[in-house]
Homo-oligomer: A and B are copies of this chain.
């Protein structure tokens, strides 16, 4: 049931209206792997610099994340600096230092190559395919991307999408990728390029999933305190893919529960900086919030009309 994830491991400096933190653990692969580890074992492929401290490695190991694929290169770790306004809906990137990430060539260790589940985090689509070329017959491949790749490498991205079972992106990216403002139409277009399942994240507005001719809509969990939204999308993907790997199925019933588990994990992660909330999250809390999602969305059939 092990999941191979490739993506970024970074130092983030984040400012929100509620506080500020410098050089904290971040990056798509960090958020994904620790979130997914609540459901399934995770094997990490990423790169860090010589400045990456043992503490962070220890955190991965505490969650049983396999770090044999985490390369340590000469130079500094990837750094991102961002800021959120009062509405917390969009990060303003103040600075990106690619550092060792600039020359990253993902290498999948021998011990990872028969992982049954693969998550291609948001990196160059050419590198995403390099990873796929190194694994043998996974049961499914899930993938993320971002506006930067949609804009700069659309043809490479489409080649990657042709090899992918599940695409997990946000609504602005779905519109940008297809040039289609209507998300339901955009979903049809994207699914014609390869992915048979499309998950569209809408931030505070929840998630829509298009799968096997069916659409699933789920709201986000209504939190009174959102402290730092950084990593919400990757934590969502971790819970979603982690649950699918645990169950080993891709039918609609399983996929819908996976969306809820993804939403649950994201809702916890935004309660604190970095992965701080994940560090003391309990399985019983995950189950309780899953049940709260059921209460949030439930309504009865009606025969009054």
**A residues at B contact (CB < 8 Å):** 38-39, 86-88, 175, 181-185, 202, 204-206, 208, 214-220, 222-226, 243, 246-247, 253, 256-257, 259-261, 283, 286-287, 290-291, 294-302, 304-305
Contact = CB atoms under 8 A, between A and B. Distances in A.
Chain A interface helix/strand/loop/mixed: mixed
B182 A226 contact: yes
| Most-contacted residue by chain B among A87, A220, A305 (CB, 10 A) | A305
Given A205-B206, A223-B184, A305-B286, A297 B217 contact: yes
B215 A222 contact: yes
A184 to B, nearest CB: 5
Contact of A253 (B206, B219, B300): B300
A215 to B, nearest CB: 5
A214 B296 CA distance: 8
Contacts of A182: 223-226
A283 B305 contact: yes
Given A182-B226, A256-B299, A261-B302, 5 more contacts: A205-B205, A206-B206, A257-B302, A260-B302, A291-B301
Contacts of A38: 305
Give the number of copies in the complex. Answer: 2
B256 A224 contact: no
A254 to B, nearest CB: 9
Contacts of A298: 256
5 contacts: A88-B181, A182-B224, A182-B226, A214-B295, A243-B305
A275 to B, nearest CB: 19
Given A206-B205, A222-B184, A224-B182, A287 B299 contact: no
Nearest to A210: B222
Given A222-B208, A224-B184, A247-B304, A299 B216 contact: yes
A257 B300 contact: yes
A216 B296 CA distance: 5
Contact of A217 (B206, B247, B259): B206
A298 B87 CA distance: 30
A305 B284 CA distance: 9
B246 A304 contact: yes
Given A256-B300, A299-B256, A219 B206 contact: yes
B304 A290 contact: no
B185 A296 contact: no
Contacts of A301: 291, 294
